[in-house]
Amino acid sequence: MPLDVSKLGATSGPHSHEYGWRDQAAYALGIGARRDELAFLYEGYPGGMQVFPTYAVVPAFEPVVELLRVAGVDLAGVVHGAQRIVAHRPAPAAATVETTGTIAGIYDLKRFAQLVVTTQTSLAGAPLFDTEWTIVLRDDGGFGGDRPPREPAPKVPTDRDADWIVSQATTPEQALLYRLSGDINPLHADPDFAAQAGFEDGPILHGLCTYGHVARAVIQRSGGGDANRLLSLTAQFRKPVWPGDTIVTKGWDVGEGKIALRTMVEGQSDTVVAKAWAEIVA
């Protein structure tokens, strides 16, 4: 079924998502949390368990998939292009939240198309998280639509070294851990499926798993270990990462609470996460 561009502006039904401390611990382990990040792993942590703001993508997943289907998207032909989350306030370690989504943009990239889905997650009627998903659709372009608008982002300074560098070794089981949070695409688990998709080296890491590692680096080095200081994170996915790779994130403080970011795999020169930046509470 071809992309239905008439679905621009379509909204999803509200999706309820209940989570508890086990879900938070599984998510934290999925994005690489270690024992010294106990506040994200232990329900009895003094002062209360913390929640990574990037957990925002988990309750948003079902509304996004619903809207992709509404638009006639072949889920086997999608590529996750970019991700943004905004945290309005700290999330509790256990809650029931409600999320709705909107198809906010459908753009023509000639051969490819681009779909932008936004979601809003609320807790007890008040905003908790917003997300924006940029999805690239293979072979759905050429319909005469608009090009996507340019998104302003703080640039990585070229005249000085990074203010900090964080190296995070992933495990061969990292994608298998991350999928416990709900994204069970076999691309990240089944070697045969991955090979058929063109990844002869095996299942790749979820882009959102890499995204979570970037968030952890920002929280550790620019947020003083306090996840509640991370207000937003924007990232564009450029290259795949494999479980077992070491993710290296560099951060530059560019003022006004903004951190420009660049992420690579150790031993490789290619950028795997680009046009990335975070906003933190000063």
- Domain chopping of the chain, boundaries: 1-149, 152-282
Residues 124-152 have a mean pLDDT of 92
Q: What is the C-alpha separation between 251 and 259, in angstroms, rounded?
A: 6
Highest-scoring range by mean pLDDT, 73-77, 106-110, 141-145: 106-110
User: What confidence category does residue 125 fall into, taking pLDDT thresholds of 50, 70 and 90?
Assistant: very high
Q: What is the C-alpha separation between 150 and 37, in angstroms, rounded?
A: 37
Picking from 74-88, 96-110, 217-231, which range would have the lowest pLDDT averaged per residue?
74-88
Nearest alpha-carbon partner for 264 in 187, 163, 168, 179: 168
Residue 150 has a pLDDT of 87
User: What confidence category does residue 1 fall into, taking pLDDT thresholds of 50, 70 and 90?
Assistant: low
pLDDT in tens, 131-140: 999 999 987 8
Residue 194 has pLDDT above 60, yes or no: yes
Residue 203 has a pLDDT of 96
Q: What is the C-alpha separation between 39 and 56, in angstroms, rounded?
A: 18
- Asked if residue 240 lies in contact with residue 187, where contact means CB atoms within 8 angstroms, the answer is no
Give me the CATH code for the 1-149 domain, please: 3.10.129.10
pLDDT in tens, 153-167: 899 999 999 999 999
Task: Give me the percent of the chain exceeding a pLDDT of 90.
Answer: 90
Determine the topology of domain 152-282 in CATH.
Thiol Ester Dehydrase; Chain A (3.10.129)
Residue 211 has pLDDT above 80, yes or no: yes
- Asked if residue 230 lies in contact with residue 219, where contact means CB atoms within 8 angstroms, the answer is yes
Task: Give me the percent of the chain exceeding a pLDDT of 70.
Answer: 100
Residue 140 has a pLDDT of 84
Nearest alpha-carbon partner for 117 in 134, 140, 100: 134
What mean pLDDT, rounded, does the chain reach?
95
Residue 278 has a pLDDT of 98
**DSSP labels, the chain:** ----GGGTT-BPPPEEEEE-HHHHHHHHHHTT--GGGGGGT-TT-TT-----GGGGHHHHHHHHHHHHHHTT--GGGEEEEEEEEEESSPPPSSEEEEEEEEEEEEEEETTEEEEEEEEEEEETTEEEEEEEEEEEETT---SS-PPPPPPP-PPPPSSS--SEEEEEEPPTTHHHHHGGGS---GGGT-HHHHHHTT-TT-PPPPHHHHHHHHHHHHHHHTSTT-GGGEEEEEEEE-S---TTPEEEEEEEEEETTEEEEEEEETT--SEEEEEEEEEE--
pLDDT in tens, 29-42: 999 999 999 999 99
Q: Report the DSSP beta bridge partners of residue 168.
A: 247
Return the structure tokens found at 228.
């509640």
Nearest alpha-carbon partner for 182 in 64, 35, 100: 64
* Strand pairing category for 126-137 and 78-87: antiparallel
User: What confidence category does residue 170 fall into, taking pLDDT thresholds of 50, 70 and 90?
Assistant: very high
Return the structure tokens found at 15.
């999706």
Q: What is the C-alpha separation between 39 and 159, in angstroms, rounded?
A: 37
Q: Given this chain, do its domains 1-149 and 152-282 carry the same CATH topology?
A: yes
Residues 114-123 have a mean pLDDT of 98
